[in-house]
Amino acid sequence: MDNRQKLEKYGLYDSRFEHDSCGVGFVCDVKGKKSYEIIKQGMEVLGRLSHRGATGADPETGDGAGILIQAPHEFLAKACAKENFILPSSGDYGIGMVFLPTNKKERALCKGIFARIIKEEGQALLGWRIVPVDNSAIGKTAKLTQPVIEQVFIGKGKGLSIGKDGLDFERRLYIIRKKIENEIRSLFLKQKSFFYITNLSCRTLSYKGLLMPEQLEKFFLDLKDSALQSAICLVHSRYSTNTFPTWDLAQPFRFLAHNGEINTLKGNINWMTARQGLLKSKLFGKDLKEIFPVIVPGGSDSAAIDNVFELLVLSGRSLSHAMMMLIPSAWEQNNLLSQNVRDFYKYHTCLIESWDGPAAIAFTDGVRIGAVLDRNGLRPSRYIVTKKNLVVMASEAGVLDIAPDDISISGRLEPGKMLFVDTEEGRIIEDKEIKETMASSKPYGEWLKKNMLELDKLSADSVERIADRKSKTLYALRSTLYANKSYPLSANKVDPLTLFKAFGYTREDFKFIIKPMVEDSHEPNGSMGNDTPHAVLSDKPQLLYSYFKQLFAQVTNPAIDPIREELVMSLDTYLGPQKNILDEQPRHCHKLLVKNPILTNEDLKKIHDIKKNGFKTKTISLLFNISEKNNFKKALDRICKETEAAIKEGFTFVILSDQGINKDKACLSALLATACVHQDLVRKALRTQVSIIVQSASPREVHHFALLFGYGADCINPYLAYEAAAFLIRDKEVDLDLESAIKHYIKAVDKGILKILSRMGISTLQSYRGAQIFEALGLSSEVIDKYFTGTVSRIGGIDLGIIEKEALLRHKEAFAVDGLQRPFLATGGLYQWKKDGEFHLWNPDSIAALQGAVRNNDSKKYQEFAKLINDQSSNPATLRSLFKFKEVKPIPIEEVEPVSEIVRRFVTGAMSFGSISKACHETIAIAMNRLGGRSNTGEGGEDPARFVAFPNGDSKRSAIKQVASGRFGVITNYLVNADELQIKIAQGAKPGEGGQLPGHKVSAAIAKIRYTTPGVTLISPPPHHDIYSIEDLAQLIFDLKNVNPRARVSVKLVSEIGVGTIATGVAKGHADMILISGGDGGTGASPLSSIKHAGLPWELGIAETHQTLVLNDLRSRVRLQVDGGMRTGRDVAVAALLGAEEFGFCTSVLVVLGCVMLRHCHLNNCSLGVATQDELLEKRFSGKPEYVENYFRFIAQELRQIMSSLGIVKIDDLIGRADLLEVNSKILPWKAKKIDFSRILYQPKGNGRASHSPSRKPEGSGLAPYKQDYGIDNILDRKLIELARGALENRKPIKIELSIRNHNRSVGTMLSGEVCRIFGEDGLPANTIHFKFKGVAGQSFGAWLAKGVTLELEGLTNDYVGKGMSGGKIIIYPDRQSNYKVEENIIIGNTTFYGAILGSAYIRGIAGERFCIRNSGLYAVVEGVGDHACEYMTGGRVVVIGRTGRNFAAGMSGGIAYVWDKDGDFKNKCNMEMVILEAVAEEDARTIEKLLSNHYHYTRSSSAKNILDNFTPELKKFVKVMPIEYKRVLGGRKTEEKIELVEASDG
């Protein structure tokens, strides 16, 4: 067992959560002309993508690179001749590249299996060829695992026809490969992991391995041979988040190469397994079963989708057809698509759910080659078509030097669209044509019309009445439910109050959950963090839902904004049995379409009574008799049996119902039952035969619904939640009629579910269903393995017996002795501390003690506080509370590191000015600066006045400047004035969610530091739009390092399974510090369900991260920090022992400064003046820096005592010493008896040591001992700074011309940092420094460009142009030599001018998706934009003189856009949620005219000229996009601001 396997078995690392992300591309000759040149060019492309790949601790080992080409017959024939065997003609033999064990015996065994199976399949083994390799240049890790690489040649069997589609031989090779794989997988081989068949085909051949892109050519000697020829070369370079990449995971796979991540993988695999039983294919016949499992276990997400794609293609579908099934575009709400295409998608949705997640996939079968982007366009993809019929597609532009005058098209892949080349036909087939062709290949529309029912349209007539009503209790029950508005709920006449009690409803559920949902149609917000016990530690019976935590996307894929980007989201649910997906018949769409899977009672009745199209519904009860023993187990078995029987009897829907409980009958957990039935059916390959509808009283919060869907429910009828709504109406708590109340409630649930989906980057419920995107906390493996198979549960926990006991406790409480039932529900106390409620760590005693201690510098009082928190023996709330320190030989406390040193490791968390008051924010900064610790700006900028210290030495400057997704106030000067730049990826209280600061809270002070307009709403998007993947994060780190090379860059992550592997990727992306936040951390405002149910405790996160980094030998490169509920010195000690070097405090600091946990932050109503912007309330703030200083000194002192008792002198020696901790088994609460902390306490062996390791520590450095290589030493900007010396020294204007290439990234950024450092925010006069470049510029061109700097580019560029622009000017136009139609071709990439604050930009050409996203002040002109342009914009002006994509102006709260709507169809593409469209007024006309004049002046734009030449008539075609709120705020004020008009002398 190697270290990795050991860690996986005993530690917290889980290989299933590895991620990769990559550069992908292809080069292809459209006419199919084969040449060595194409392969050469492919490798060139690969090399130029290398900055998108990564290396681990061993700099010579890449994460994998490879190419896929057409079978090079001439070359192979020549090569085989040398091996003494003759190849038949091209196409009559198959080749496979095979990785084999280095052990001779094992290798021979493998080859023997090849020989036998090839023979069994009637084909001929022609021979083997050893592939010549030179491993002298490859890395150590790669060498250690390097397999023997041979090619196998298989001759086509005599009897084999070519088949209808010419693929019979290819299919045979597929079966051979699958059989060999299956057989070898089942063997016991020492070197089994060495074995792998890259591909086995008569059409394609791949060369790949654990290599860096530039090593590929050196390694495979074949690639140097010019006889090797192909018309197609698909390339891939991999960036894995860890450093255990393996040879077999290098891409391309057999058919495709993937850049991205499949978020719904677990669901996709489960569904594929479930549908295997249905697979049938005439083309395969009986052989089909040989290929099972379709998806090879242990592969990556990319490998899995390749497996399925391969099957679909080989069973008869065309490449484009198969790809459209797996990665459909967002068709559900796209009215711009033709009906035909929508029908096509709708039909295929009945066959298979989409593989959801960010993806750029390039695919080929050796003849055709294509590329597709996911529905949201979350991966960049650019292509060039030359006049010489060459197509080059890659993740970025500029990967191949192409003469500008040779370019005929400069394009980009658009969301959900496809680029497709057919070398046989010798042409590029347009997306529209492919889709229309596919869509009209079968009468899908007809089929749908005839076969698909829609629940909403199902009239009462189509529902057959059930004759004998009385025999059907459920029916009887529901009919009473409907007959009577007062809703007597159960046949057994259990009153609602008792039902509420039985299902654990509390008064809080009504007040905090149901009421806001019913009233406002959205789920409720709360503030501060979670300080209640984890479900497994709580003394009170918990619903099973509470044992699960939502997972979320961080770094490796982006969360989605379900509100602003609603057009990609869908809840559509198709009920009814699935059919064989290898076939295509009308009956495949024999489905019941449910638009809203949260069923009303009426909906449920319709489904229950349905008798059409063979649909039949069976209700299965979840009740059991409480008097029996082992009820749960028995009931679950019964339900599974009944479901199976129902399927056999032809029922198509089963309703799992918990209606009808009474004194003697209790019910199962609906979640457990659903998961159990789902898993059981998946295993029996029956799951696709039936739809599972859950009729349950238990779900009420969105988290509950998400769990039910995530574990397999198709639809849910939360009948008791509806009853709760009725209850509120009856109680006059809400003033609504029942129908609207329920409608609101459902809408709130819908929105909440979409949010939870999008948190993980998933767009459709269909893909989310069964995807199990949760981590369990406190469930035993016995429960997990049987019912929640595959879910991560790392500390073990409760078994079925305890789940049952909890259910019975609730039941007993509800059905208490007559006359003793309380006439009201239990208190709850989850969201507020209550004496009779759930335990809170922050309670009156602890708060009072802490405040008493710090105010009077009273160490005794502090000890009292610390005891209240540390000793949770009677109320364990945290995982760490169950630890104790081992007893070792103590040392005198005097020997321990002094307090003054320790406090330097303390930081305060990211709390923005805005979430907390100015006084509070500044008090914290002063205190931290005095202590030598660090305070954090939080999201939202910082007043530059604070950068200047006071005469007495105090300073209000926050050392840590945060960079969050909204980029508010992230101006160059802000970045330059930082000691640390922190990229906030996620926040414990709401990971994967955005935020919104409503206009009325945007005061003048806030607007000033955020560089926006007072009164205009500010929206923070869920993802950083420049981080959709790990290589994007590396790019942002690079950007920030450029702006401020002196600051360390840190990345804030939130604890969840896999955070260790993500951290590894981040370390490889050259971050200096990684912050692991616990899921319990505080917040100013966040949905309650996110506070409670998303993210995991930091104990797990820090331990996993430390272990994984040590294993990867990367621990010494980064420092680790932890926060999220730190309160005492003991907390610090535990965190250090688990691996942290620095420690962050937030909530406790607020308590120190007066917060008494009102939890009102989100209401702007803090009566203590801590978390409010209300001037009146702010005056009440009474905190002092001394309090904070006292607090941190107390903590340090407490820590010193612990260190002395552990015999440890320095904190550095504490780090990672998990062996000093043990479980305090005496205090395990009743539910947690079986809890197992051994994984947390595991210490992996590895070369990587914590940075404390004295032997590796460079002298004098407080930071990580191994400095990261940021790659900023020899960049273009160093030269620019040199060239601009005159300007920087004495403001002398300069203008210089230079050439540029795609590896020149973040050009102008470091220069701008210099400008700011020297001249401050005001920078230099306009155009003082003017650089003109020629060529293709790399990513982040002109990021954070400062005032006085102008960048002019003749050529093309990539993503992130002008991000954070702070006053500079960017001018981009195509090469003067080029002669393609500029206004129809792309010139800059995606996410451009993101968070721009000031400056101007003139772009002659089309921009990709998300142009001017979150622009807050830039003036820009562009000649066309992709989707989501001007998203979240808050200020500035944008003029678009060309076509726009969809979803223009989504979430745009400020600024103005002027769109030249030539075709008059702009309205359909604009998101009208927050804007109105107006005609341009006179002042607008002036703005437009000035900007266009400038544009023409700078770029010689013919489009601009045409408009200017006919200005008056053309002006009428302009539409003014005006945010409603912005308009109101501006009121009568003139919207026009000063626009610099080009000086006559310039240019």
Partner 1 sequence: MGDIKGFLKVKRQVSKCRPVCERVQDYREVGILPAVEHSMEQASRCMDCGTPFCLWGCPISNYIPEWNDLLFRGKWEKAYLLLSATNNFPEITGRICPALCEYACVLEINDEAVTTRENELAIIEYAFKHGFIKPNPPKRRTGKKVAIIGSGPAGLSCADQLNKAGHNVVVFERDDKIGGILRYGIPDFKLEKRILDRRLEILKKEGIKFMPGINVGMDLKAPYSRKEFDAICLACGSRIPRDLPPKADQPAAEKIEGRELKGIYFAMDYLIQSNKRAQGVKFSSDELIDAKDKKVVVIGGGDTGADCIGVAHRQGAKSVTQIEIMPRPAESRTRDYPWPKYPLLLKATTSHQEAGIRDWSVSTKKFIGENGHVKKLSCCRVEFKKNESGHSVMEEISGSEFELDGDLVILALGFLPPERNNLLKESFLTSRRGVFSCGDMRRGQSLIVWAISEGRRCADFMDKYLTQENNLPII
The residue ranges that bind partner 1 (CB under 8 A) are 507, 528, 731-732, 816-820, 822-824, 827, 831-836, 840, 842-845, 847-848, 851-852, 855-856, 1154, 1156-1160, 1163, 1165, 1167-1168, 1176-1177, 1180, 1182
Question: What is the end-to-end Cα distance of the chain in Å, rounded?
Answer: 68
Judged by beta carbon, residue 630 or residue 1167, the one nearer partner 1 is 1167
In the complex, least distance from residue 1524 CB atom to partner 1, rounded to whole angstroms: 26
- Which is closer to partner 1, CB of 411 or CB of 504? 504
Closest to partner 1 by CB, 408 or 1164: 1164
Outline where 871-998 has alpha helix (H): 899-902, 918-931, 972-976
> Which residue, among 1334, 1335, 1391, 1387, has the nearest Cα to 1365 in the 3D structure?
1391
Nearer to partner 1, 814 or 896 (CB): 814
Distance in angstroms (rounded) separating the CA atoms of residues 1508 and 1488: 10
Least CB distance to partner 1 at residue 1520 (A): 38
Phi-psi region of 613 (alpha: psi -120 to 50; beta: other; left: phi over 0): left
> Nearer Cβ to partner 1, position 1165 or 1468?
1165
CB-nearer residue toward partner 1: 440 or 1164: 1164
Q: Report the nearest approach of partner 1 to the CB of residue 495 (Å).
A: 14
Distance in Å, CB of 1152 to partner 1, minimum: 14
- Whole-angstrom distance, CA of residue 1470 vs CA of residue 1446: 6
Q: How far is the CB of 523 from partner 1 (least distance, A)?
A: 17
Q: Determine the 3-state secondary structure of 588 from DSSP.
A: helix
Task: Using DSSP, state whether 256 is helix, strand or coil.
Answer: strand
Report the residue number, 461 or 735, with the smaller CB distance to partner 1: 735
Minimum distance, C-beta of residue 1156 to partner 1, in the bound complex (Å): 6
Phi-psi region of 1528 (alpha: psi -120 to 50; beta: other; left: phi over 0): alpha
CB 1413, CB 1381: distance < 8 Å = no
Instruction: Determine the Cα–Cα distance for residues 532 and 69; give it in Å rounded to an integer.
Output: 58
Tell me if 1115 sits within 8 A of 1251, measured CB to CB.
yes
120 φ/ψ angles, rounded to the nearest 5 degrees: -55, -35
Residue among 1113, 1459, 1418, 1158 nearest 1253 (CA): 1113
What burial letters (b/e) apply to 353-369, b meaning 16+ CB within 10 Å? bbbbbbbbbbbbbbbbb
Nearest CA among 1485, 1476, 1457 for reference residue 1523? 1476
Nearer to partner 1, 916 or 1208 (CB): 916
Shortest Cβ distance from residue 744 to partner 1 (Å)? 19
Distance (Å, whole) CA 102 – CA 882: 48
Q: How far is the CB of 527 from partner 1 (least distance, A)?
A: 8
Closer to partner 1 by CB, 526 or 1454: give it. 526
Q: How many CA atoms does the CB half-sphere of 682 hold within 13 Å? A: 25
CA 340 from centroid of its chain's CA atoms: 32
Helices (H), 1078-1214: 1088-1093, 1098-1111, 1129-1138, 1147-1152, 1175-1178, 1185-1205
Q: Which residues contact 1523 (CB under 8 A, 6 or more apart)?
A: 1016, 1433, 1449, 1452, 1453, 1454, 1455, 1456, 1474, 1475
Tokens of 1404: 């002659």
> What are φ and ψ of residue 644, in 5° steps?
-60, -45
Catalytic one among 22, 80, 1316, 1412?
Answer: 22
Quote the least distance from Cβ 1163 to partner 1, whole Å: 6
Nearest residue to 1482 via CA among 1455, 1510, 1520: 1520
The three-state DSSP-derived secondary structure of 719-778 is HHHHHHHHHHHHCCCCCCCHHHHHHHHHHHHHHHHHHHHHHCCCCEHHHHCCCCCEEECC
Q: By three-state DSSP, how is residue 120 classified? A: helix
Question: Is the Cβ of residue 528 or residue 919 nearer to partner 1 in the bound state?
Answer: 528
Tokens of 260: 């991205």
> Nearest approach, Cβ of 1157 to partner 1 (angstroms)?
4
Q: Is 819 exposed, middle or buried (0-12, 13-18, 19+ CB in 10 A)?
A: exposed
With beta carbons less than 8 A apart as the criterion, state whether 23 and 237 touch: yes
| Residue 994: closest CA among 703, 1362, 1437, 1414 | 1414
Written as one string, the DSSP assignment of 977-1045 is T-SEEEEE---TTSTT--EEE-GGG--HHHHHHHTS-TT--EEE-SS-TT-SSHHHHHHHHHHHHHH-T
Q: Is 80 a catalytic residue?
A: no
The least CB distance from residue 1167 to partner 1, in Å, is: 6
Q: How far is the CB of 629 from partner 1 (least distance, A)?
A: 21
DSSP label at residue 1329: E
> Least distance in Å: CB of 1134 to partner 1?
25
Nearer of residues 824 and 1511 to partner 1, judged by Cβ: 824
Nearest to partner 1 of 627, 952 (CB atom):
627
What distance in Å separates the CA atoms of residue 383 and residue 385, rounded to the nearest whole number?
A: 7
Q: Residue 603's CB: how many other CB atoms inside 10 A?
A: 20
Q: How far apart are the C-alpha atoms of 1052 and 246, rounded to whole Å?
A: 28
Closer Cβ to partner 1, 507 or 805, answer by number:
507
Instruction: Using DSSP, state whether 1249 is helix, strand or coil.
Output: coil
Give the residue numbers marked as catalytic. Answer: 22
